[in-house]
Amino acid sequence: MAPDQEPLTGEQETGDELYQRFSFVTDKGQEPYRIDKFLMNRIEGATRNKLQRAINSGMVLVNNQPVKQNYKVKPFDSIIVYSDVSPETTEIVPEKMALNIVFEDEHLMVIDKPAGMVVHPGSGNYSGTLLNGVAYYLQQTLPDVSEDTLPRFGLVHRIDKNTSGLLVLAKSGKAMTHLAKQFFDHTVKRQYLALVWGDVANDTGTIKAHVGRNQRFRKLFEAYPDGEHGKDATTHYTVLERMNYVTLVQCVLETGRTHQIRVHMKYIGHPLFNDDFYGGDKIVKGTIYSKYKQFVDNCFQICKRQALHARTLGFVHPVTGVEMHFESPVPVDMATVIEKWRGYSQHVLKGKVD
């Protein structure tokens, strides 16, 4: 009986995709055993509470069918678990706040998150997160909803605090399982818009390098091209516009590791503009002279975060089977800086500045 993923400990990251899949097939001598106890012995770090929540929300399938907590495994059972295997999270306290909901039906909702908003509570961010607002919003229309009936209030993926853009959340266990499977199978279509330092050499490219925690600074992540640390990660990029000292690129994720685009673009020598974690918050390309430095500093003041936007999101509706596609307009801060660089680039080409 082998899981799709290696046993997990609290140190390992779930990445932007918050659920992972474990797969087992019982052998012919399997004795009747409660499903939660069976899985506790096979998934490192899983607690009985989390497993029971997963079972109740339909995220444990036996022979492709959801089961109840009292189900007892039998010989040759095929078991799939979509499980939140991260450490226990902070309690999500409902808070009333404005949410930019771009689509909603009885099964799911798509939200356009602004830069500066943390997605879910955690160390140092216990309130004011997107999930605090989602919890309040859902409880107004679904009074019985809770973290017990809908883990993380339907969150199946996340984006960084200072990244803007689209997120999909489930409103039922069935929808959550279906969406988690799509993320695991890499069938969700996600395109990001990024402004990066330097003139990217190739019009298109694919970056393959494991992404994992920096061995010295635990808040940072690093690219490990030889795969000695972290998890496999693949990013496809396309150059959209060259502006001498910066390049506008489109990034498509094949995997969803923490800080993946930011780490991968730094790895190929093109950190994101104003990314203070990965060296993009200083002048990386261009001669440092007073007017140029002033121009860059002005751009930093306009876009006070990494210039990264989750622009498109596509997936199959978990109930209707219809392919859905959403696009988010580029936020004002990024759009303004892109336009300023576009103008500066034209001046460079005309020889009006060095």
Q: Which residues are catalytic?
A: 160
Asked if 84 and 152 touch (Cβ cutoff 8 Å), the reply is yes
Burial of 13 per CB tally in 10 Å (0-12, 13-18, 19+): middle
SS3 content of the chain, % helix, strand, coil (to 5): 25, 30, 50
What Å distances lie between residue 103 and 77, 169, 205, 290, 340, CA to CA?
Answer: 38, 10, 33, 47, 32
> By C-alpha distance, which of 38, 55, 50, 42 is closest to 6?
42
> By C-alpha distance, which of 265, 217, 273, 259 is closest to 238?
265
> By C-alpha distance, which of 88, 26, 77 is closest to 51?
88
Does an H or E element contain 167, and which? Answer: strand 164-170
Task: Give me the half-sphere count of Cα atoms (radius 13 Å) on the Cβ side of residue 216.
Answer: 0
How wide is the angle at C-alpha 259 spanned by C-alphas 3 and 211, nearest 5°? Answer: 50
Asked if 16 and 159 touch (Cβ cutoff 8 Å), the reply is yes
